[in-house]
C-alpha cells in the first residue's frame, strides 16, 4: 500500500516590474507591498506616473507571498485585485489558479489556467499547472495531455515531468513511471519528494533494495520526511527485515504519535515478530484515532488469533468487513478463526464469499473444499 505523496513544488513565473524610470524615492510601486505602499502605488497609477501593470505586479507579489504563508483567502484577495487592475496579467491568473486548486475549487482553477494559457501560450508552467489540477481531479487523460503540452514547450519543465511520472504510476505503468522520475531527478537530484515517489514505484514493482536506496536518499535530504520513512519501513517489512521496519515506524511515532500509517504498519510488523501484545496496543491506538481503519482491525484480529483468542479475532475481522465488505484478507482470516472453533458453517460461508471475489485464489479454494468436507 503506497503512501500517498505530494507532487514536486510548482515553479512560479517571475515577472520583472515595468514602469516609468524614476528616482529611488519616486518609485511607489517598487517598495514593500504593505497597504500604505499599495495605496501610494494606486495614486501613482491614477496620476499616470506608472502603469497599471506596476500596481498589478505589486498585488501579485504580495498575493504570492501570502500564499506561501498558507493564507489562501488573503492571497486570493490580492490576486483578484491584481487581475482587476490588469486583466491581461497571465501570471496573476496562473497564481490564482494555484490558490484555487489548493482550496480544491478545481473548476475555477481550470478556468484561470485556461485564461493564463490564452494570454501567454508559450509559457510551459501554465499547462503544467492545469495538468496537475486535472490529476487531482483524477482525470488522468486530460492531465497527461497537459503535461505533454508543457513538455513540448519546455522539455525540462519539472512540474510536468514529475506529474507525467505520477500519472504513469497511477496507471500502474511502473517502468514508464520510473523512467519519468529518472528524467526529472536528472535535472532536480535533491528533490526528496521525487525520490520518495520513485521509491514508491520501485516498491510496487517489488524492487525493494532500490526502493530503500531512494527512501534513504530522500531522508538524507529531509530527515523529518515521515512518508519516506514509512515507505522505507514498508519496504524493509516486505523484505522480512521487521526490526528495521519497526525502527522506522518508531522514529515516525516519536515525532507524531498519532500517525495512523506508522501505527498500523508497526502493528503488522509486531505480529510477524511474535510481539502480539505490542501489536494489539498499536492497532488499538490506530482504531481510536480512526475507527474506520480496516487495516488496524485486521492486524489486531491477527494478533488475537495468534494468541488463540478467536472470539476477539472474529470480532475484529467482522469490524474490518464492516468498513470494507469486500476485504478478501479479512474474510479469509475470519474463516480460519471460525475453523479453529469448529464453526465450519460460518467458515465455509466466508471462504465461499472470498473465492467469489478472488476466483483464482487456490489456497482459498482448497480451504473451502476441506471445510465442506468437515461439514459432512
Measured in degrees and rounded to the nearest 5, phi and psi for residue 137 equal -85, 0
Distance CA 225, CA 341 (A): 45
| Amino acid 26: pLDDT | 52
Enumerate residues 6+ apart whose C-beta is below 8 A from 304: 276, 280, 310, 312, 313, 316
pLDDT digits (tens, 9 = 90+) for 343-367: 999 999 999 999 999 999 999 999 9
Q: Is 175 exposed, middle or buried (0-12, 13-18, 19+ CB in 10 A)?
A: exposed
Residues of the chain with pLDDT under 70: 1-28, 30-32, 376
Distance CA 29, CA 54 (A): 6
Chain length of the chain: 376
Rg (CA), the chain: 27
User: Cβ(100)–Cβ(112) under 8 Å?
Assistant: yes
SS (H, E, C) the chain: CCCCCCCCCCCCCCCCCCCCCCCHHHCCCCCCCCHHHHHHHHHHHHHCCCCHHHHHHHHHHHHHHHHHCCCHHHHHHHHHHHHHHCCCCHHHHHHHHHHHHHCCCHHHHHHHHHHHHHHCCCCCHHHHHHHHHHHHCCCHHHHHHHHHHHHHHCCCCHHHHHHHHHHHHHCCCHHHHHHHHHHHHHHCCCCHHHHHHHHHHHHHHCCHHHHHHHHHHHHHHCCCCHHHHHHHHHHHHHCCCHHHHHHHHHHHHHHCCCCHHHHHHHHHHHHHHCCHHHHHHHHHHHHHHCCCCHHHHHHHHHHHHHCCCHHHHHHHHHHHHHHCCCCHHHHHHHHHHHHHCCCHHHHHHHHHHHHHHCCCCHHHHHHHHHHHHHHC
pLDDT digits (tens, 9 = 90+) for 58-96: 889 888 889 999 999 999 999 999 999 999 999 999 999
Enumerate residues 6+ apart whose C-beta is below 8 A from 212: 199, 232, 235, 236
Between CA 71 and CA 145, with CA 138 as vertex, the angle to 5 degrees is 100
Distance CA 160, CA 139 (A): 15
- A 10 A CB-CB count for 133 gives 24
Distance CA 152, CA 105 (A): 27
Distance CA 38, CA 53 (A): 13
SS (H, E, C) 318-340: HHHHHHCCCCHHHHHHHHHHHHH
Distance CA 68, CA 343 (A): 60
pLDDT digits (tens, 9 = 90+) for 184-222: 999 999 999 999 999 999 999 999 999 999 999 999 999
User: Cβ(133)–Cβ(97) under 8 Å?
Assistant: yes
User: Cβ(171)–Cβ(190) under 8 Å?
Assistant: no
User: Cβ(205)–Cβ(236) under 8 Å?
Assistant: no
| Amino acid 34: pLDDT | 77
Of residues 66, 63, 69, 55, the one with CA closest to residue 94: 63
Amino acid at each position: 500500500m503506497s503512501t500517498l505523496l505530494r507532487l514536486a513544488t510548482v515553479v512560479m513565473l517571475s515577472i520583472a516590474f515595468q514602469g516609468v524610470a524614476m528616482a529611488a524615492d519616486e518609485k511607489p510601486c517598487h517598495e514593500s507591498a504593505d497597504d500604505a505602499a499599495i495605496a501610494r502605488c494606486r495614486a501613482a497609477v491614477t496620476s499616470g506616473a506608472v502603469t497599471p501593470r506596476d500596481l498589478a505586479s505589486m498585488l501579485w507579489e504580495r498575493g504570492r507571498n501570502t500564499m506561501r504563508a498558507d493564507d489562501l483567502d488573503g492571497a486570493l484577495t490580492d490576486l483578484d485585485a491584481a487581475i482587476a487592475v490588469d486583466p491581461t496579467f497571465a501570471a496573476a491568473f496562473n497564481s490564482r489558479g494555484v490558490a484555487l486548486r489548493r482550496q480544491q475549487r478545481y473548476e475555477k482553477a481550470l478556468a484561470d489556467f485556461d485564461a493564463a494559457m490564452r494570454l501567454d501560450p508559450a509559457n510551459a508552467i501554465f499547462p503544467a499547472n492545469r495538468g496537475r489540477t486535472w490529476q487531482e481531479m483524477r482525470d488522468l487523460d486530460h492531465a497527461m495531455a497537459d503535461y505533454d503540452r508543457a513538455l513540448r514547450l519546455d522539455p525540462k519543465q519539472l512540474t510536468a515531468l514529475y506529474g507525467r511520472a505520477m500519472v504513469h504510476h497511477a496507471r500502474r505503468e511502473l517502468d514508464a513511471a520510473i523512467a519519468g522520475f529518472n528524467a526529472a531527478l536528472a535535472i532536480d537530484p535533491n528533490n526528496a519528494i521525487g525520490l520518495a515517489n520513485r521509491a514508491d514505484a520501485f516498491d510496487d514493482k517489488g524492487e525493494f533494495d532500490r526502493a530503500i536506496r531512494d527512501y534513504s536518499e530522500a531522508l538524507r535530504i529531509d530527515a523529518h520526511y515521515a512518508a519516506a520513512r514509512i515507505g522505507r519501513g514498508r519496504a524493509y517489512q516486505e523484505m522480512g527485515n521487521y526490526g528495521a521496519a519497526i525502527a522506522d515506524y518508531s522514529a515516525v511515532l516519536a515525532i507524531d504519535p498519532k500517525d495512523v500509517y506508522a501505527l498500523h504498519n508497526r502493528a503488522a510488523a509486531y505480529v510477524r515478530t511474535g510481539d502480539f501484545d505490542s501489536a494489539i496496543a498499536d492497532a488499538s491506538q490506530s482504531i481510536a484515532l480512526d475507527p474506520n481503519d480496516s487495516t488496524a482491525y485486521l492486524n489486531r484480529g491477527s494478533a488475537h488469533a495468534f494468541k488463540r483468542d478467536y472470539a476477539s479475532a472474529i470480532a475484529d475481522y467482522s469490524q474490518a468487513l464492516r468498513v470494507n465488505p469486500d476485504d478478501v484478507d479479512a474474510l479469509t482470516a475470519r474463516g480460519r478463526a471460525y475453523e479453529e472453533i469448529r464453526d465450519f458453517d460460518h467458515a465455509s460461508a466466508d471462504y465461499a464469499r472470498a473465492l467469489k471475489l478472488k476466483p483464482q485464489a487456490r489456497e482459498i479454494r482448497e480451504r473451502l473444499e476441506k471445510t465442506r468436507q468437515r461439514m459432512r
